[in-house]
Amino acid sequence: MNTTPTVTAAIVQAAYVLVAFLFITGLKRMSSPATARGGILWAGLGMVIATLVTYLQAPEIGINLYLVIGATVLGGGVAWISGKRVAMTDMPQMIALYNGMGGGAAAAIAAVELYRGDQRGLAFGALAVLGALIGAVSLSGSCIAFGKLQGLIKKSFRFSGQQIANVLILAVAVVLGVLIATGVNTGSSVVTGFFVLALLLGVTMTLPIGGADMPVVISLYNALTGLAVAFEGYVLNNWAMVIAGMVVGSAGTLLTQLMAKAMNRSLGNVLFSGFGDTAGAATGPVTGTQKPIEAADAGVMMAYAQKMIVVPGYGMAVGQAQHKVWELTQLLQNRGVTVKFAIHPVAGRMPGHMNVLLAEAGVPYDLIADLEEINAEFETADVALIIGANDVVNPVARNDKSSPIYGMPILDADKAKNVIVIKRGQGQGFSGIENALFYLDNTRMLYGDAQGAVNQLVQAVKAAG
């Protein structure tokens, strides 16, 4: 603040170059398990530098500076506390919320510029408006996504003509946006109307989408927020925002596609079909009976196995059984049993979520294999232990064309010599589809809650001597 303007500008620009470098390197490191921890530290350092040099651009000490400091402390403080407290199982919706905040911030930047009403050319206006639209949709859409995953919004509001309504809202918002961007009418009532419609669009777009598809939507909004930030970066002549926002925009788009692919869904399907929570009408006839087993017998079977593959599902995490599962794994490893974890892409609430939950319990990531890596190994496994997973091991997906999950890639747990399924009772899974695996000759059902049942297995293995 005491230096001359040109020197200050040069320092800020140089710092932003460094920040862009730190962000890209950080993201690169975050894409490999061995270096991921360092990656977030690099990116975090970049953020601190970017924030500090921005204070060099502060005007005279006054109300604006106080508001910046106050708002940073308030927003950052609330996020810090909530981020430290959130349970690992609730992580997806928390990410959605933080992402929505970023979108809202991008929209707020645009609002400050647009309400001011000074025109600096078509590119300026167009990108300010586009960033505002995307940012506002991301804000309200992410809030709905949070509400759905948190269980605050239980229904999926659908009515006929919903798509048409969405298109109409978008069309009117675009018309208003064009008026503002071209400088034809930059009145504050037009700007207000534009923002109201943009926020409304985020709500109406997201409400019909089912909970199971929500991770893909959150990832999409994450990419969109990146774009909005990049566009507002152009408006503010801020290269760090342009580069970081654009990198996230494209990386997020790719990540969204990877997630949709892992869930066997196309992006268009997710956004416009509303499957996410409707399946379950068609349940093909499944013959046979479920055969129960006692924990003591199952424990002995595991203790004398060569190789066991554990298939954890969201039910394991909800039952907080992952720590007991790791204890069981270590006991078996000490007896010379090879234990691996097979993770389906949609185990947990989003791709990779189950890995986080297992990591929390202390399971090393090199024991964990994804579907492509492990599917061929089930044939060589003596025991497949299914905990709280259902649809992702249902062989119906392979061979029953009438099933709603037909074609979904599944873990071939049924090919193991013995299958032990830990399950509360004889009910159906999340999607309401009968699971043929439970009726196979080599399957035994261990009834009970996940934590209690695994604890009994631990005792049984210990008793096996």
Partner 1 sequence: MNGVIAIYIFMLAGFTGYEVISRVPVILHTPLMSGSNFVHGIVLVGAMVALFSAHGPLELVIGTIGVALAAGNAVGGYVVTERMLEMFKSSGKAPNKGHHS
- β-strands 368-370, 338-343: how paired? parallel
Query: Cα dist. 295→95, 127, 286, 441, 465 in Å?
Result: 38, 63, 26, 18, 16
Catalytic-role residue among 213, 277, 370, 391: 391
299/351 with CB nearer partner 1: 351
Cα separations in angstroms, 262 against 179, 248, 265, 376, 410? 41, 20, 8, 18, 11
Alpha-carbon separation of residue 387 from 80, 320, 355, 383 (angstroms): 33, 11, 15, 13
Is 90 noted as a catalytic residue in this protein? Answer: no
Closest CA to 230 of 69, 20, 46, 88: 20
Q: Output 222 or 394, the one with its CB closest to partner 1.
A: 222
Q: Which two tokens stand for residue 235?
A: 């408006």
Name the minimum Å distance from CB 138 to partner 1. 10
Least distance between partner 1 and beta carbon 465 (Å): 25
Look up residue 194 and give its two tokens.
């534009």
Where do we find the tokens 């089912």? 210
Minimum CB–partner distance for residue 254 and partner 1 (Å): 5
Nearest CA-CA partner of 214 in 251, 256, 161, 164: 256
Query: Which of 297, 373 has the CB closer to partner 1?
Result: 373
What minimum distance in Å lies between the beta carbon of 22 and partner 1? 10
CB of 110 or CB of 433, closer to partner 1: 110
CB atoms within 10 A of CB 340: 18
Phi-psi region at 438: left, alpha or beta (left = phi > 0; alpha = psi -120 to 50) = alpha
- Compute the least distance from the CB of residue 57 to partner 1, in Å: 6
Of the two residues 95 and 207, which places its CB atom closer to partner 1 in the complex?
A: 95
Q: Hey, which residues are catalytic here?
A: 391
